[in-house]
Amino acid sequence: MTTLSLAKPRPRPLISWRVRKLLIGYSYLVPAALCMLATVVVPIILAIKMSLYADVLYKPADYRFIGLGNYVRLVQDPVFWLTLWNSVVWVFGSVILQFVFGFAAALLLQQAFRGRALVRTLTLLPWIIPGVVVGLIWQWLYQPNYGVINDLLIRAGWMHERLAWLSSPDTAMAAVVFANVWRGIPFFAIMLLAGLQSVPDELYEAAHVDGAGVLARFWHITLPLLRPIIVVATATRIIWTFNYADLIFVMTGGGPANATQITSTYTLLQAYSSLDFGYAGALSVVLLVVMLVFTALYLRVTKGVEETA
Amino acid sequence: MDERTSLSRRKLLHTLAGTGVIAAADLAWWDAPYIGPRKAWGAEPVRFQWSVPEPTRIALMNSLAERFNQSQKDFAVQIEYVPQAQARQKLISSITGGSPPDLCQVWDNWVGQFNGMGAVEDISARAKSWKHYADVAPTAWQTVTINNQIISLPLAVTLDGIYYRTDRLKELGLKEPTPDWTWDEFLGIAKAFTKADKNQYGYGMRGGGTWALLYPSEFAYANGAEVLKDGKVVINSKEAVDALAWYLDLALKHKVTPPSAATDGFVEIVETFGRGVTSMYQHNSGSSGQQKKNVGADKFATLPLPIGPANKRASFWFSETLTMFKGAKNKEGAWQFMSFMLEDEPSLKYNSTLGLLPARQSILKQPEFANDPALAGFVNSFGIGIVSPYLAYPGWGGKIDSDGVPLIQQAILGKISPKDCLDRFADILKKEMS
Amino acid sequence: MKRRHVPTDLAERVLAGPVVWIGLVLLTAFALGPFIWMLLTSLKDRQELYATPLQYLPVHPTFENYIDAWTSPVTPFSRFFLNSLWVCSVTMVATTVVSVLAGYAIARFRFAGRDALLLIFLATQMFPSVLLIAPLLTQWRALGLIDTYQALIYSNFSFTVPFTVWMMVGYFSSIPRDLEESAMIDGCNHFTALCRIVLPLAAPGIAATAIFAFVVSWSELLFAISFTTETSMRTLSAGLLYMVGQYEVQWGPLSAGVILSTVPVAVLFSFLQRHLIHGLTAGAVKG
């Protein structure tokens, strides 16, 4: 439907086209950037400064610059390394499962069937509730004495003894990951569902005509075209989950005996229980650096948001 | 090109403008408070943070604040309700941000830390010239006195006792224990109560929260141990280790505790007793009102903590306080409200509604408190009450939460020995003694 | 009109048929399980809630939990509802607009510092928001914005925009450039090309972004509690926590509140999900 038309001769602009393009690009970013600066960047810089001081709130007389003192303490703190390991388990366990099940959900919800709108809405629900309330609900479900999970499992005959899911170091982490997966599947389902819509039908048809089966079409067409969205969704989700303290805080408080203590809940504890803001600042900065490095590498390896084809 | 779905430039710009305008507009017509006590003209506001909002308490505090506001024209109290889990965070953030509320309701173990931050107002002068100063029990004053300065007003006091099911005791045909019962009797009753196949356990041990460490400490005192002696930390003395071993055996050897003990906080121990899963638990009088609703007032009673092998016992005082901040803008108003809350009628109403014990002894003698079997155990414990030794240093409170509780959890799970647990805990306490 | 695709190989027939049905059933059961429990709980009175052994279906279903929650003067859910609705709607609109613009710019224009900017946007999410509360509180108090909708909207906005910009960059990147380029050869400038061609194609992505912005601010808790003091300004998530008492969680009113809080988002989503349909790109690419 493209009609050939002569390009209209453009008058010589005052500013060169190149610079103009640049300015337009930047102007699109200004509102976002301003807000970032005011509400996030400045507090982060303040927190970095905080980490260089011995800042225990109830010892104001001891407040002084100690340079890397908090960081040295961090490196020597066995609980910190434990929380780092727990964080890795927590993040990758949750995100991988959320991604796999979310993708499956997106594929399912893409099919045309009666009542699709309703099913899509229902599967969105776990995401809507505030994290703290999700924690309370799952804590109640996991309750060994009057929780639904134990009750159903025993009635079905699959278990004979009541298991204290959140009180046993062996099962606590798996239990909180499970609750997190429940909460996070809708995120991937929606993101990937939106992404799936932009894959043109013709490509599938052409491949079908060429004799490619369902799995081959999925592997060679869907995945590559979805790559930018998969990378964005997983990267943002990984970062978000690293910092997500609410669920664990409510369900186990980091226990039992630090079995579910992740670095961000440990930071919270240092800040608001021990009132050691210097150490908490150092923990946050380290976490920030770890995630920056990880993200940079992740984007490079997956070729990030480079455009497809 | 599909014309229907194209967005005209004009429409887009209009939307942008609309968003900006709405976001920046001052929504004055929606700002008027929907509920809350009406302010008298010219009354100075008193900002009061309340840290345990739940429907009963909110209604109670609103009505008390309303009465205060109507009884005088100079001050008007505005209450801010902050959900419990966020209350401490919010107080700390507003203190460090330089704008604390005028007054807040907090527990005594928080006050020490706030005082260490230099945030709390010294009210010694006001308290000592207050008309009810002598009526408040000396131990209650001790819980809010640091370095001879009174820094807060005790609103309600309580200490720990044991709740137990009287109906189940009758069913088992056991004798009702006397207030002077011993550890052996306690163990015997706990074992008799335990029927694991019926999902019933003798003692709801607490593994989560600060008090998970304080309850075994109280038992340790019954064995002759102490936390601080002559200024030195002796929490890991032989008597303390033995007492902890006995306490942990309840879970590890005799199995009279439910499987969730290691992470049960106060909500859980109250709820499991309320649902009949446990038949005894240790707590202060605060949950007595709750249990009357859950179990029924005729089915339970309370006792002081049992006497230990050293023929001693102790229970830690715990007070709910009203604390004024140094950065408060309206100190006189705050003090007026604080003293109002401890007048006869407000104090009676507050404490009897919530099952707490008033700090003023004359009110304590009233029949609501003296004749209630659910409160008997606590009233009988006054003679053995001591100020919690853990209030001695401001740094201890936080360390108990972050380091001490994981230790006791490991001990309850049997992963470390009682001696190991107490030795490490002693080290932590010693480090914070500056 | 899409031609109905006839499955020819076995794998496809299996996957399209029973697998889809079983999958859907499992998916809905998993997502809904706890909700069904919440719904049942909200219909029970106190006695049935505490009954042992565990009672599943309420013998005498009652709506008192809902009525209590909605009309209670001490925890006015109706007011919390309105507050949340307002704050989240404004946040959603503002976030979507800003991130569409920014996302387009980053996806299409090559300029110096593009990658660094992306990383900085993401880095704002890498810091625990709890530690940011103290400085933010000072800021809002200095500006006189405590107990206003603005403070909540700005704070939510600042935290959703980095994510949504990233998301829009992803969605725009998967739309081939050729379409705009052919439109620009026809005489459009960038902005018109954006409005007329790219936006309709990116509609699924925009819908997803809008939902994301709404849901994230709907369930946001920390800012709502930190930047407001009056009960009348609290949002729904903060209001739900009023049901967590000192010695018990009031499951009756809490579950009623949870069910109530899912309604607006469900309604919003059922409108927006219309855009998550296939076929908008049909006929767009030739050759």
**Helix/strand/coil for B144:** coil
How far apart, in whole angstroms, are the C-alpha atoms of residue A54 and residue A202? 63
The predicted pLDDT at position A28 comes to 64
In eight-state DSSP terms, residue C252 is: H
DSSP H helices in B315-372: 331-341, 344-354, 361-364, 367-370
Residue A8 has pLDDT above 80, yes or no: no
Answer yes or no: do C137 and B97 touch at CB < 8 A: yes
Average pLDDT taken over every residue of chain C: 80
CA distances from C286 to A1, A202, B412, C180 (A): 10, 9, 70, 14
**pLDDT the model gives residue B127:** 92
pLDDT classification of A107: cutoffs 50, 70, 90: confident
Q: Which pLDDT band holds residue C4 (cuts at 50, 70, 90)?
A: very low
pLDDT, tens digit, 9 for 90 and up, residues C169-219: 888 887 777 777 777 777 777 677 667 777 888 888 888 889 889 988 998
Angle, CA B117 vertex, CA B111 and CA B122 arms, to 5° = 60
ipTM of the complex: 0.82
Contact B279, B225 (CB under 8 A): no
For B173-212, what is each residue's pLDDT tens digit? Answer: 999 999 999 999 999 999 999 998 888 999 999 998 889 9
CA distance C64 to chain B (A): 15
Q: A38: closest CA among C90, B99, C136, C221?
A: C136
Where residue A177 falls among pLDDT bands split at 50, 70, 90?
Answer: very high
> A77-301: which CATH topology?
MetI-like fold (1.10.3720)
Every domain of chain A and the residues it spans: 77-301
Mean predicted confidence (pLDDT) in B218-223: 94
Residue C239 has pLDDT above 90, yes or no: no
Superfamily for the C74-275 domain: MetI-like (1.10.3720.10)
Token output for B198: 């019926």
Q: Residue A75: is its pLDDT beyond 90?
A: yes
Label residue C1 by pLDDT band (50, 70, 90).
very low
Q: Which CATH number among 3.40.190.10, 3.30.70.3340, 3.40.50.150, 2.60.40.420 corresponds to the domain B44-158+318-386?
A: 3.40.190.10
Chain B residues touching residue A60 (CB < 8 angstroms)? 116-118
* Reported confidence tier of residue A131, pLDDT bands at 50, 70, 90: confident
pLDDT at B94 over 50: yes
Q: Select from C138, C231, C250 the Cβ nearest to the Cβ of B35.
A: C231
> Is the pLDDT confidence value at B28 over 80?
no
Which among C12, C121, C285 has the least Cβ separation from residue A213? C12
> What type of residue sits at position B319?
S
Per-residue pLDDT at B18 = 42
HSE, side-chain direction, 13 A CA sphere, residue C113: 7
Q: Which of A167, A261, A275 is nearest residue B398 as measured by Cβ atoms?
A: A275
Mean pLDDT across chain A, nearest whole number?
Answer: 83
Among A269, A250, C230, smallest CA distance to B53 is for C230
Name the interface residues of B facing A (CB cutoff 8 Å).
Answer: 85, 88-89, 92, 96, 112-118, 199, 207-209, 258-265, 268, 272, 275, 277, 394-395, 397-399, 401-402, 405-407, 409-410, 413, 415, 434
Q: Percent of chain C having pLDDT more than 90?
A: 6
Instruction: Read off the pLDDT of each residue in B39-51 and give the average, rounded to a whole number.
Output: 75
Q: Coil, strand or helix: which one is B200?
A: strand
Pick from C57, B208, C48, B344: which is nearest to A254 by CA?
B208
| Three-state secondary structure readout of A38-89 | HHHHHHHHHHHHHCCEECECCCHHHCEECCCHHHHHHHCCHHHHHHHHHHHH
Domain boundaries, chain B: 44-158+318-386, 160-316+392-431
Distance from CA of C7 to the nearest CA of B (A): 31
Q: What is the pLDDT of residue B86?
A: 83
Q: Residue ranges per domain, chain C?
A: 74-275
Q: What is the DSSP letter of A259?
A: T
> Which pLDDT score is estimated for B36?
42
pTM for the model stands at 0.84
Q: Is the pLDDT of residue B390 over 60?
A: yes
Average of pLDDT values for A179-196?
A: 90
Query: pLDDT digits over B325-364, tens only?
Result: 998 888 999 999 999 999 999 999 998 888 788 989 899 8
Q: How far is CA A243 from CA A249, A251, C109, in A?
A: 12, 16, 31
What integer pLDDT is reported at residue B160 of this predicted model?
92
In angstroms, the CA A94 to CA A87 distance is 10
**Cα–Cα distance measured from residue A142 to residue A185, given in angstroms and rounded to the nearest whole number:** 20
The H helix count followed by the E strand count for chain C is 15, 0
Which pLDDT tens digit goes with each residue over C245-272? 777 788 888 889 888 888 888 888 888 8
pLDDT at A23 over 70: no
Tokens for B125, please give them.
Answer: 């002068």
| Per-residue model confidence as pLDDT tens digits over A212-226 | 777 787 888 888 888
pLDDT tens digits, residue range B292-309? 888 888 999 999 999 999
The candidate with the shortest Cα–Cα distance to B120, out of B391, B318, B387, B321, is B321
Contact A231, A305 (CB under 8 A): yes
Task: Count CB neighbours of A194 within 10 A.
Answer: 28
Tell me if domain B44-158+318-386 and domain B160-316+392-431 are identical in fold: yes
Per CB-CB distance under 8 Å, the chain C contacts of A194 are: 171, 204-205, 207-208, 276
- Whether A130 contacts chain C with CB within 8 A: yes
So what's the pLDDT on residue B27? 29
CA–CA dist B152, B105 (Å, integer):
10
Q: Tell me which H or E stretch contains B216.
A: helix B211-222
Among the four given CATH numbers 3.30.930.10, 3.40.50.300, 3.40.1050.10, 3.40.190.10, the one describing domain B160-316+392-431? 3.40.190.10
pLDDT tens-digit readout, A108-130: 888 878 888 888 888 888 888 88
